[in-house]
Amino acid sequence: MSNITTFGGANLPSVQSLSGALRSIQSDAGATGSVILKMDKTGHWVFGADQTEVEEGSLWAANPFSFVHGYIAWGNGEVLAEKLVPVSEPLPALEPAPSGAARGWEMQVGMMLVCTNGEDKDMQARFTATSVGGKRAVQALAVAIADQVEKDQTKPVPLLALSSEHYQHKTYGRIFTPIFDITDWVSMDTDSVEPSEEAELEVAAEPEAPEGARRRRRVA
């Protein structure tokens, strides 16, 4: 169904080293050649400068060795500074936040994903989060990978369907948070990734887009 060539032959550490490093992210509440993946304020997953919507039914593989944690300082709509390290390393030391960073340093976690099917197959994407809901979603995924590694080290890569949920905030109204639904587990070094029949059925059960429908670009 898909090729996860991004992970193969990448001079990665042993899978056995994953569990402890991934679990460390639970206590913490960019790559080149990739796009930025995020969930917008309306609960839609989008990527790139044009804010293109993620294709319905797409599955994304999370690289289990790509999880990072650290800090980011935002100015007026721009990143003033960012310090991220692998989750196997301690959080980076911080100097005073750059001038213009109204909220100072904010905790940030993230990871790299690759699309495994559809129009965006093989596209690499970077996802980072500073919100409470976003950090919890990344943390939950990291712990799920750690659990999987302890059960089966041959298949540490989760295939994910991207979704969202929301809650009502008394001041800001409806707040959406990201969800990473694990549909299958696959190997790091296989060229041909075939999700289980169950995963295929879950994707097939999604409603089909109307004939002639085009993917939308969303305005943030």
Cα–Cα distances in angstroms (integers) from residue 124 to residues 17, 57, 169, 181, 185, in the given order: 24, 17, 33, 18, 18
For residue range 100-143, what is the model confidence (pLDDT) as tens digits? 998 999 999 999 999 999 999 999 999 999 999 999 999 999 99
Q: Scanning the structure block, which residue is given the tokens 């799920």?
A: 144
For residue 4, give the nearest of 83, 64, 57 by alpha carbon: 64
Element of type H or E holding 200: helix 197-204
User: The whole model's pTM is what?
Assistant: 0.74
CB atoms within 10 A of CB 90: 9
Structural tokens at position 181: 């639904």
For residue range 34-91, what is the model confidence (pLDDT) as tens digits? 899 999 989 999 999 899 999 999 999 999 999 999 999 999 889 999 999 999 999 9
- pLDDT of residue 199 exceeding 80, the answer is no
CB 198 within 8 A of CB 152: no
Cα–Cα distances in angstroms (integers) from residue 100 to residues 71, 73, 84, in the given order: 16, 9, 20
